Amino acid sequence: MVWRIHFSADDLARIQVSPTLGPLAETVLALALLRCSRQPRSMLSEWRGQVRVTPQMRPLTALIPPDCNGVDLPTLVGETATIEQGVQALLDVPREHLLVEMEWIDRRHRLPPLAWAMAEAGGRPELAEATQAAYQELIQPFWPRIRASLHAEQAARRRTLAAQGPGALLASLQGPLIRWRPPVLEIMRPGQVEMELAGRGIALVPSVFVGRAPSLHENPNDEDEMPRLILPAEDAGGARLWAPVRSRGSALAALVGRNRAAVLQSIADGCTTTELARRVGISLAAASQHASVLRGAGLIATRRQGSAVLHVLTPLGAELLQAGLGPGKGRAWCDAASGAPAVVWYRNLLRGTAPGSEWTTGCGFRLQDHRRAARGQSLSTRP
């Protein structure tokens, strides 16, 4: 049994490499993975030991029968950078588009009555709440690390594409389940599939929760839309992704202040300024002001996303959250020379009054002085 994807010269020229479909897609894939008895329990065991399927997720699980990928919500919703954007896109999916996907799944895996209710306007808010609950339990604690890992994989594939071309990129995917036999990419999966891309190209997307085998997604509601090949992420089994998330609220608040700590933690999984204000319960002006200070200190970065501004952690900001920032709370920050706690120094950095002495984190990053840190140029590796 094999899936065969046929590439023309135009298709090869249009290959895209994406970092992720976003937190909503990973949430759906994670729930499907947990409900699949064919996937070995040893897969992602560190993650499995920290999460559970709760009753609040029932409206979403109704769309994902056991041992099935379920209704293809990731394709219907598309790429979304934050969970809020994903949930809003889910609310906006046309009823007839959702029913097309549901009827296709129902022919192979009977959907319960609750699933059909989710396609109606009255059921969508319930589905949105269930999706939020699943995200918070299964994905949110780990999302900053997952996203960083997926972006790193995207960068590596883009380098291959730019330096060696699309043929070399497709050849680099080869493994037990994938073969590149130009101009056909073969995937060893049950069933017989012959896909002619017909000039649409294809998007290669890594996922932590897709399982051991790639997954091919095509939108039946838009025959011109580029198909997506979701590939198992290379670092999915890495223990660093699943290290338990330490309690950090009080220590972080002592360092940067309670409000700014809440802002930094809310930005951990990425959000726009509007979403940040809603998450923390502050005004748009206050959210923008806090984000500006954290950006100036090198803890977050921003980029334009259409008419909105998306905030994400920098490596320094991620390290700050992970460190614990207090006695017995993980990798404490200290003066590189004296070992004195860095709490007072970094608080002064945020106020713009820190001295120019050198501070270091437990993972080997140094803050040479507050001016370089404020420009986001402070990361260097200790020899």
User: Residues 176-225: pLDDT tens digits?
Assistant: 999 999 999 999 988 888 999 999 999 999 999 999 899 999 998 888 99
Report the percent of the chain where pLDDT is more than 70. 80
Judgement on whether residues 270 and 328 belong to the same structural domain of the protein:
yes
What pLDDT score was predicted for residue 40? Answer: 80
Q: Is-contact 265 249, C-beta < 8 A?
A: yes
In a domain, 18, yes or no: no
| Mean pLDDT, all residues of the chain | 82
In a domain, 379, yes or no: no
Tokens of 155: 């960068």
Distance CA 33, CA 41 (A): 10
Judgement on whether residues 7 and 149 belong to the same structural domain of the protein:
yes
Judgement on whether residues 204 and 135 belong to the same structural domain of the protein:
no
Query: Which structural domain, as residue segments, surrounds residue 364?
Result: 249-374
Judgement on whether residues 235 and 258 belong to the same structural domain of the protein:
no
Q: Is the model more confident about 192 or about 16? A: 16
Judgement on whether residues 57 and 151 belong to the same structural domain of the protein:
no
Q: Pick from 111, 143, 175: which residue ends a domain?
A: 143
In a domain, 368, yes or no: yes
Judgement on whether residues 69 and 137 belong to the same structural domain of the protein:
yes
The residue to which tokens 């999302």 are assigned? 143
In a domain, 340, yes or no: yes
Across the range 276-287, mean pLDDT stands at 88
What pLDDT score was predicted for residue 370? Answer: 36
What letters, b where the CB count within 10 A reaches 16 and e where it falls short, cover 55-89?
eebebbbbbbbeeebbbbbbbbbbbbbbbbbbbeb
Q: Pick from 239, 257, 285: which residue ends a domain?
A: 239
Q: Which of 161-170, 189-198, 314-323 has the highest mean pLDDT?
A: 161-170
Distance CA 252, CA 248 (A): 6
What pLDDT score was predicted for residue 253? Answer: 67
Judgement on whether residues 134 and 38 belong to the same structural domain of the protein:
yes
Q: Is-contact 323 333, C-beta < 8 A?
A: yes
Using pLDDT thresholds of 50, 70 and 90, give the confidence band for residue 349.
low
> What's the N-to-C CA distance of the chain in angstroms?
52
Judgement on whether residues 262 and 356 belong to the same structural domain of the protein:
yes
Judgement on whether residues 135 and 151 belong to the same structural domain of the protein:
no
Q: Is the model more confident about 317 or about 193? A: 193
Got the DSSP string for 170-213? HHTT-BTTEEEETTEEEE--SSEEEEE-TT---EEEEESSS-SS
Provide the domain count of the chain.
Answer: 3
Using pLDDT thresholds of 50, 70 and 90, give the confidence band for residue 345.
very low
Judgement on whether residues 330 and 298 belong to the same structural domain of the protein:
yes
pTM of the model: 0.75
Q: Is the model more confident about 246 or about 97? A: 97
H or E element that contains 265: helix 258-267
HSE-CB at 90 with a 13 A cutoff on CA atoms is 31
The DSSP symbol for 365 reads B
Report the percent of the chain where pLDDT is more than 90. 51
Q: Pick from 179, 211, 239: which residue ends a domain?
A: 239
Task: Express each pLDDT in 64-76 by its tens digit.
Answer: 999 988 999 999 9
Judgement on whether residues 118 and 178 belong to the same structural domain of the protein:
no
Q: How many helices (H) and strands (E) does the chain have?
A: 18, 14
Q: Is-contact 325 250, C-beta < 8 A?
A: no
